[in-house]
Amino acid sequence: MVFALVGNQNCGKTTLFNQLTGSNQHVGNFPGVTVESKVGVIRSRKADTVVDLPGIYSLRAYTNEETVTRDFILKNKPDGIINIVDATNIERNLYLSLQLLTMGVPTVIALNMMDEVRGNGGMINIKKLSEALGVCVVPISAAKNEGIDELIERAAEAASKKIMPKVKDFCTVGPVHRCIHSVSHLVEDHAEMMHMAPRFAATKLIEGDEELAEKLGLNANERETIEHAVLEMETEGGLDRMAAIANMRYDFIENACSRTVIHSAETKEHKRSAAIDRVLTGKYTALPVFFGVMLLVFWLTFGLIGQPISDLLASGIDALIAATDSALTDFGLNPVAKSLVVDGVLSGVGSVLSFLPLIVVLFFFLSVLEDTGYMARVAFVTDRMLRKIGLSGRSVVPMLIGFGCSVPAIMATRTLTSERDRKLSAMLVPFMSCSAKLPIYAVFTAAFFPNHGALVMMALYLLGIIIGVLVARFSGAFVFRGTAMPFVMELPNYRFPSAKSVLLLMKDKAWDFIRKAFTVILVASVAIWFLQTFDVRLNVVSHGEGSMLAAIGRFLAPLFIPLGFADWRISTALITGLTAKEAVVSTLAVLMGTTVSELPLVLMNSADVFTTASACAFLVFTLLYTPCVAAIATLRREFSSRLGALGVVIFQCSVAWICAFIVYRIALLF
């Protein structure tokens, strides 16, 4: 059997999913959208699976997540629904529950966080609540693994015996009742042909769901009759259609909870959260604390913890490459075949795999911040600022991560609830200067701006942010049209993070990155090796200048004449920078016949290659042009389209060229 796991955001849904499935889960995409899906095998029932649907507040189909949830239930026909409800905020959570109950699917309600309710002196009469809602209600604590076995047993019983929700009518008198009743009869035959519950269809049509009306195949007369019924309801009740339906549901919820729920005066968790929020969301303290927290995360990731582990892994990979090189030489393998294995496969994939510890450590901290409830506050605090450029507050975290590495930053856009916001944020991330570009800045500032290195680097970081803002305004107006999603977000109480959820997220991100390293990145690395090794007649070259890569560099060199650097060695270095931005420096050193440490001196004395003005343009171009292959592969996955990712790459290169040209012309004036 297949169960759909449905609930609000921040109600413990992911924690419950992990308790139900353990590590027996995989991540994929729903067809046609980039909304992630998680599917897992229930540990105690190996034949049954559970699908973790996106966290939503309603079935209005306003966002992709709501559409995905509604369509999955209507089209895939799961055997049962497990609706998780936050017991500490039961009234608002039940709003989604009432919509699910009208869908005509066997449903069990998992009343989560009951340990907190009891701990604060509250009480919920489970038996009476079950009777009021007409479905089985199971008290659980997902974080403490309490009540999970009973929940599985009740869900399996409801699904196997086809036990449908007994309560579908949430009002028995009044204009709303009459309207729903008449529309239900009108669309009954249409709904049954679509295998849809008539009452669910009627409610959605009254709410004005045009897409559903199209699917049901209603004719003009039927639509007119529905609109007439809605108009009568609005006139008699004095509320518009949306408010009338919402009012009906909340009246039912209020009546049910008044008979079954005893709230404590104020929970300990809420008191603690309110005290912390006075600092973390305070008018003058929120942003400084946020930047301090992110600075600490970056320092731990790219400094104290992540970078040493990354360096250790890189040393191990280098040792493996050296040992393989030596073994293949002793074996007498053909030099070209040896070069393919050592330089094409091991060096290419190995250089990318060395970033794995950074990604794992970074997502460990982000997952901890998410589970504690702090990330919801970050989005809340930064929303007003980002909304001015067409994004929502949730976009701030991926953009900040972009200063460390574009790959996890683009992956982090998956936390955004809108596909438009997700794609726009993913496109902006590469304009944030990642740490891999630091070697380029260091070499060129040492060569051309030895007394102003810090100022130049600060200017580059600031320029990346400014260009990102301008691109966001342009893209929001012409490419990703529309406005950022309305900001609806739960500010949950602060809680200790779930170790299982954190570890499973780290495993997912690590596996996702490893899979990418051995597919797209491997192919790209081998392609770069091939172009570096052979000339156009497929003869092995002894020096880089005779290779196909150099030929491509010479072909592209005229493009950079207006930017002041037309030497083929520079364009060749920019191409190799697609594998990793650090490769720009190493390639330049090799092609100019020097070492990386001596490169600044060589550049400073090579007036035919770079001037101070052209060095400015080169720094701006490397700041803004397309990121590494790993980031491009992540973009392709985010856009679910090779053409989409290619379009982003071309757009970014164009922006980089234009900005570098402007900077070069300004620099010439001085």
How many Å is the Cα radius of gyration of the chain? 29
Q: Out of 87-101, 134-148, 357-371, 489-503, which region has the weakest mean confidence (pLDDT)?
A: 489-503
Out of 150-164, 462-476, 642-656, the most confident range is: 150-164
Cα pseudo-dihedral 157, 159, 162, 168, rounded to 10: 110
Mean pLDDT of 311-321: 82
pLDDT bracket for residue 382 (50, 70, 90): confident
Taking only the tens place, the pLDDT of each residue in 195-248 is 888 998 999 899 888 888 888 888 889 889 999 999 999 898 888 888 999 999
Q: 66 in helix, strand or coil?
A: helix
Residue 434's pLDDT is what?
78
Alpha carbon 459 to its chain centroid, in Å, reads 29
With a cut of 90, say whether residue 403 has pLDDT above it. Answer: no
For residue 119 the two structure tokens come to 């701990």
pLDDT bracket for residue 31 (50, 70, 90): very low
Distance between CA atoms of 95 and 58, rounded to whole angstroms?
7
Taking only the tens place, the pLDDT of each residue in 135-150 is 999 999 988 889 999 9
Taking only the tens place, the pLDDT of each residue in 267-279 is 676 778 888 888 8
- Phi and psi at residue 212, to the nearest 5°: -65, -35
Taking only the tens place, the pLDDT of each residue in 277-297 is 888 888 888 888 887 887 787
With a cut of 90, say whether residue 60 has pLDDT above it. Answer: no
With a cut of 60, say whether residue 190 has pLDDT above it. Answer: yes
Mean pLDDT of 175-196: 89
Top-confidence residue, 487 or 526: 526
For residue 398 the two structure tokens come to 């991926």
With a cut of 80, say whether residue 430 has pLDDT above it. Answer: yes
For residue 214 the two structure tokens come to 């199209």
Other beta carbons within 10 angstroms of residue 209's beta carbon come to 18
Mean pLDDT of 41-69: 83
Homologous superfamily (CATH) for 2-160: P-loop containing nucleotide triphosphate hydrolases (3.40.50.300)
Residue 12 gets which letter from DSSP?
S
Domain limits, the chain: 2-160, 175-262, 512-669
pLDDT bracket for residue 408 (50, 70, 90): confident
Residue 337's pLDDT is what?
84
Indicate the average pLDDT of the chain. Answer: 81
With a cut of 90, say whether residue 69 has pLDDT above it. Answer: no
DSSP for 282-323, written as a single string: -TTTHHHHHHHHHHHHHHIIIIISHHHHHHHHHHHHHHHHHH
Taking only the tens place, the pLDDT of each residue in 597-616 is 677 788 888 777 888 899 99
Residue 36's pLDDT is what?
62
- Phi and psi at residue 221, to the nearest 5°: -65, -40
Per-residue burial over 302-334, b = 16 or more CB atoms within 10 Å of its CB, e = otherwise: beebbbeebeebbeebeeebeeebeebeeeeee
Q: Out of 268-272, 437-441, 480-484, which region has the weakest mean confidence (pLDDT)?
A: 480-484
Query: pLDDT > 70: what percent of the chain?
Result: 87
Mean pLDDT of 330-345: 81
For residue 452 the two structure tokens come to 């102003």
User: Shortest CA distance to 252 belongs to which of 176, 196, 184, 138?
Assistant: 176
**Looking at domain 175-262, does it have CATH number 3.40.30.10?**
no
With a cut of 90, say whether residue 2 has pLDDT above it. Answer: yes
pLDDT bracket for residue 38 (50, 70, 90): confident
Residue 213's pLDDT is what?
85
With a cut of 90, say whether residue 662 has pLDDT above it. Answer: yes
Q: Give the residues across from 137 on adjacent strands.
A: 109
**Burial of 251 per CB tally in 10 Å (0-12, 13-18, 19+):** middle
Residue 35's pLDDT is what?
57
With a cut of 80, say whether residue 404 has pLDDT above it. Answer: no
Q: Give the residues across from 4 on adjacent strands.
A: 51, 81
